[in-house]
Amino acid sequence: MSVEKRVLLIVSGGIAAYKSLELVRNLKNAGIAIRCILTPGGARFVTTLSLATLSEDKVYEDLFSVADQGGIGHIELSRDADLLVVAPATADIIAKMRAGIADDLATAALLATNKPVLIAPAMNVRMWVHEATQENMAILNDRGVNIIGPDEGDMACGEYGMGRMSEPDAITIAIKKLFQETNSRDTALICKSNQKLAGKKALVTSGPTHEPLDPVRYIANRSSGRQGHAIAAALAKKGADTVMISGPTNLSDPIGVTVRRVGSAVEMFEACKRELPADIVVCAAAVADWRALHPTDKKIKKDGVVPTLELTQNPDILSFLSQSISNRPRLVVGFAAETGSVVDKALDKLARKKCDWMIANDVSVGTQTFGGTKNTVHIVDQNGIENWPEMSKESIGDRLADRIANHLNTDHD
């Protein structure tokens, strides 16, 4: 960077605070100046000396410090930076940001800033999925606060789920990306007026479908829904009015996205029809191809006789949306989850379904695409094949949203 960028890092009180030390090191190595605010809770996990040594700057802690206010107070702290980063962002500080509470140095700086803010949520899975936290996150997202994570995984409390703070490398990449999206330290990095998909409606399908055999059994697949959820979140962040129709998953609803929950392929098909018209459709769901022709309302009992399962084909949602005569979206994107020769199969599927783009990915055993955090995709369209390297599913969502926005903004048909 020709002009040194400046980050004000707020370290709040969560076990993930230890990751903030690596984040400081990363930013310094990237040539970004960093100054830290350490909350009283954060000080229970990392020390002032550690942050000061790594940042090579004073660490600020007290809102009412005479020494601090005599030199640089919360107003100057917040406005001297190009970007404020809260990592970890606990449920407590997120709630205070939503309410506009300014009862310590960190929250006063956040309330006083006229600069963009990036938060990296980190908390117990139950705290993350709580309605209060999700509502707080949705409001912050609407205000233009940038959000990275949280991730899914093991937690210090022994539980497993969403709530882990994103890794320092991922946060560093997000910060660099935000800086690349502006040429001025006084311009908001991501603001509503510049969202490229504002005024557009996006429809995204996500997750698996469950096709019942009886009240306790069903046909399904290994899709976690993470890729579809990431795409929906990225489109919403670009300003699109985004509706996600999701099969059963264990994921939190994406921030800023209207979610319609369904169980079966037929339910997903009907929900998609109700959401038309739309400008953009991304069919990322792993929809079951078949369902039981005669599901029973009583549990099938094991009586020594192997039951015969008669199947019937499910509606082809992607083909329907691609070939709608009156409500055909401007851009229809499908997914081809394949094993072996994935690009060739995607080309064939593109022709058969008559969609605009087909995104091929390999779900063979050993790829960990289904249920994993990363993906490798190939974008197939009328112009050829675009091979993307392996990256996180969230990064794929962001990159795909950029591609969609660029396509629609240059499409004058």
Catalytic (active-site) positions: 157
134: tokens are: 């999700």
Crossing angle for the helix pair 131-142 and 91-99, to the nearest 10 degrees: 50
Q: Which residues pair with 12 in a beta bridge?
A: none
Nearest to 356 by CA among 317, 383, 396: 383
How far is the C-alpha of 22 from the C-alpha of 27, rounded, in Å?
9
- Three-state SS for 49? helix
Neighbours of 335 (CB within 10 A): 26
**Residue recorded with tokens 């209060």:** 132
How far is the C-alpha of 187 from the C-alpha of 330, rounded, in Å?
32
66: tokens are: 């005479």
Residue 248: asked if its preceding bond is cis (omega within 30°), the reply is: no
Buried residues in 340-362 as b, exposed as e (16+ CB within 10 A): eebbebbbebbeebebbbbbbbb
How far is the C-alpha of 334 from the C-alpha of 230, rounded, in Å?
15
Neighbours of 223 (CB within 10 A): 25
Report strand pairing: 357-362 vs 331-338.
Answer: parallel
